[in-house]
Amino acid sequence: MSNWFRRRATKLIRVGNISIGGGSPIVIQSMTNTDTHDLQSTLEQIKRLQEVGCEIVRISLPDIECAKLVRRIKESVTVPIVGDVHFDHRIAIEAIKNGVDKIRINPGNIGSEAKIREIVTVANEYGVPIRVGANSGSLPKDLTSLPRAQALAEAALREVRTLEKFGFENIVVSVKSSDVLETIEANRYIAKYIDYPLHVGVTEAGTLYNSLIKSSMAVGVLILEGLVDTLRISISGDPVNEVIAAKKLLTFLGMRKGVDVIACPTCARSVFDVEKVALEVEKILSNVEEDIKISVLGCIVNGIGEGKNADLGIAGTNDGVVLFYKGEIVGTYKLEEGLGKLKELTRTIVQEKLKNPAT
Ligand code: SF4
């Protein structure tokens, strides 16, 4: 695990059985995109998210009926559930009474401070934290003359101060822009003024490629600056991709155990279909959460160095492939035999790691 940078010191906030901030590992979140009224589809999606490693799932609660469904959802899943509420404070209160683990509100659209106070009173009673924060799409008008990153942070600070005024400090904060640099700047700014954990992400980051690049830059920088306590990689489409992306981001930054399949881009020297083999290896390892590095390189130009540094490596040779296992050459093989051996050894490594994670 990386330990060369320091996490910002924050309050510890508990969301069901998950801790955010206070030095806890960075928590992965995602959000359902089903109609919450459709209980079966929503439950299926939450379970899929849970299976791939999502640690907190947010659901939209557009009305009281959905808030009441929280109880049935909570009976069927173990992952903590966050209720996303806008405009109507009664929905938030109903969700809390039905067992929601955290509420995400935008105090600016709840209406009056008296209504926010009602939410806070019930959240206090049930020990439920509240996430507040600002998105670039919903900035208060009186802040729009400020630079956008500062406006985002000031808008979120205003919301935090509103909750604090009612004695509430069980808070998680987010400042999200659809712009990479604004997201970085806004989080840097707000981190100087509060010690609540930060939920970080690029909002409306787009489809897969756009989001992966934007999120890796913004969230990656902020992780390395120690400012991220929980994250969502927002991606249009199946939210399972959000969780897979978040896990990879944390793994590649050394923040979590995980698999790294190194594969070369291929060129005229490649003696086998590197992409196909790398994808097969990734598939075998898809549910493994142990530190395993496998290198798949088309030839020996870089293949020997990478292979020796990995737990398992394969590189193309003049008449087949050479395999490495824990830094040593296992042997040279004809292509098909070598590829078979690679898969066999991949499964062996998985079994070894699962039996003894320290190896
Ligand atoms: S490792 Fe070999 S095949 Fe792969 S890109 Fe480099 S030179 Fe080409």
Residue 110: partners with Cβ closer than 8 Å, 6 or more residues away:
86, 87, 88, 89, 92, 116, 119
- Chosen domain end from 252, 280, 296: 252
What is the pLDDT at residue 108?
Answer: 83
Q: Residue 192 CB: number of other CB atoms within 10 A?
A: 8
Contact (CB, 8 A) for 182 and 190: no
Question: Which atom of ligand 1 lies closest to the CA of 302?
Answer: 1
Q: What is the CATH number of the domain that holds 247?
A: 3.20.20.20
What is the pLDDT at residue 354?
Answer: 78
Which token pair is 125? 């009673």
Query: Is the beta carbon of 298 within 6 A of some atom in ligand 1?
Result: yes
Residue 1: inside a domain: no
268 and 231 in a common domain: no
- Chosen domain end from 225, 252, 279: 252
Query: What's the gap in Å between 267 CA and the centre of ligand 1?
Result: 6
User: Residue 264 annotated as binding?
Assistant: yes
150 and 115 in a common domain: yes
What is the pLDDT at residue 359?
Answer: 63
What is the pLDDT at residue 352?
Answer: 86
What is the pLDDT at residue 3?
Answer: 53
Q: Which domain holds residue 305?
A: 259-355
What is the pLDDT at residue 358?
Answer: 64
Residue 81: inside a domain: yes
- Chosen domain end from 200, 233, 252: 252
- Protein residue closest via CA to atom 7 of ligand 1: 301
Sign of torsion over alpha carbons 266, 207, 101, 253: positive
Mean pLDDT for all residues in the chain: 94
What is the pLDDT at residue 140?
Answer: 87
Closest CA to 81 of 104, 108, 106: 104
Q: What does pLDDT average to in each consecutive run of 10 residues of the chain (359 residues)?
A: 76 98 97 98 98 97 98 98 96 98 92 94 98 88 92 96 96 96 98 98 95 97 97 97 96 92 95 92 84 93 89 92 92 92 88 76
Query: What's the gap in Å between 269 CA and the centre of ligand 1?
Result: 6
Contact (CB, 8 A) for 239 and 33: yes
Q: For ligand 1, pick from 297, 308, 317 the residue to mutate: most ligand atoms within 8 Å of CB.
A: 297
What is the pLDDT at residue 2?
Answer: 53
Which token pair is 253? 């930054």
